[in-house]
Amino acid sequence: MKTVTSKIKLNVPKINQLSRAATTALEKTVSALHTEVVNAQVMPFDTGNMQNDSTYEDYSNSKKGKVSLNTSTPYARRMYFHPEYNFQTTENPNAQGNWYEPWINGKNKNFCKNAFSQFYKKEAGL
C-alpha cells in the first residue's frame, strides 16, 4: 500500500479579502437593483412616498450573504400582488403590479447576477 501525504497552506488574508469583496458586491448589487427599478418607473407612484421614502436596501445580513430590497408602506403588498389595479401613469409611465417581475423572471432576470459579477471582480481586484 502506498501512502500519500499533502500539506495545504491557506492564504487567510486573501480569503478574508475575497469574503469582504463578496459582501461589498452584494450590497452594491441590491443598491443597483433599487436604482434600476426606480429608473424603469415601474412602481406605482402617487405622492412618491412608496418609491422614494419607503423603499430601502437592507444590508443587516450582508455578511451572511443576504440582502433585501424592502418597501415598508402598509399598502405596498396589496398594490404589488394586484396587477389588475388601474395604476395612474402620470409620474411613472410604466407603473404596474408585480413591478419586480422583469428582474425575477423577465427580460432583466440576469441583472443581479451580472451586476454582482462585475462588482465582485472590481472589489476583489480580479
Q: What is the pTM of this model?
A: 0.89
Query: How many domains, in total, are found in the chain?
Result: 1
In a domain, 117, yes or no: yes
In a domain, 4, yes or no: no
Distance CA 36, CA 55 (A): 13
Domain ranges, residue 97? 12-124
Distance CA 116, CA 94 (A): 26
Distance CA 126, CA 122 (A): 6
In a domain, 93, yes or no: yes
In a domain, 110, yes or no: yes
- Dump pLDDT digits (tens) for 65-105: 999 999 999 999 999 999 899 999 999 999 999 999 999 99
CB hemisphere CA count around 118 (13 angstroms): 9
- Dump pLDDT digits (tens) for 5-41: 999 999 999 999 999 999 999 999 999 999 999 999 9
In a domain, 5, yes or no: no
In a domain, 84, yes or no: yes
In a domain, 1, yes or no: no
Closest alpha carbon to 96 in 17, 16, 42: 42
